[in-house]
Amino acid sequence: MTKQDAAPLSSAGIASTGVPSTGISSTGREVARCPAPPHRAAEARAAATAFVAQLHPTPSARTVQNLLLLSSELVTNAIQHAGAVTALSFKADSDALHVRVADPSPAHPQSRVPDLTGRTGGFGWPMILRLAHRVTIRPLGREGKIILAVMAR
């Protein structure tokens, strides 16, 4: 994906309903930007659900479940490890679904051994890497980073 294909991450011009606004980008792709960054994983799942409800053709139930899980994990990781999500957006083209999460930390995610007792986690990043067929991290300097996860439609 080139920079010019990227969906803007700002929330300018978006209704404050909590549901992402959608439209067709200049490249013919369906794009949704959330009106405000999510504060919880449930808000990310709701935004992803609203986004896929407007796609035609609708992705399979399995793809939708994977998108919800991917969105939830990306947002959870940003909140837990970076302190917040600064933007969330979705994009779809004929072959793929794209999830972008921006956060204020320049630190890249690190894989670690999962804690099987459930106390300290360690499952999120490996799950993201498994669900997405491509994950890109774009540094924003002192302003954090953007993680773009792309999965098959």
Provide the pLDDT for residue 20. 53
**7 falls within a domain:** no
The mean-pLDDT minimum among 58-62, 70-74, 94-98, 110-114 falls in: 110-114
**100 falls within a domain:** yes
Full DSSP string of 63-132: HHHHHHHHHHHHHHHIIIIIS---EEEEEE-SSEEEEEEEES--PPP------TTSSS---HHHHHHHH-
Task: Domain of residue 53: give its range.
Answer: 22-152
Total number of domains constituting the chain: 1
**8 falls within a domain:** no
User: In angstroms, what CA-CA distances link 46 with 24, 68, 95, 103, 134?
Assistant: 20, 8, 22, 19, 23
pLDDT top residue among 17 and 58? 58
Confidence of residue 29 (pLDDT cuts 50, 70, 90): low
Q: What is the CATH number of the domain that holds 44?
A: 3.30.565.10
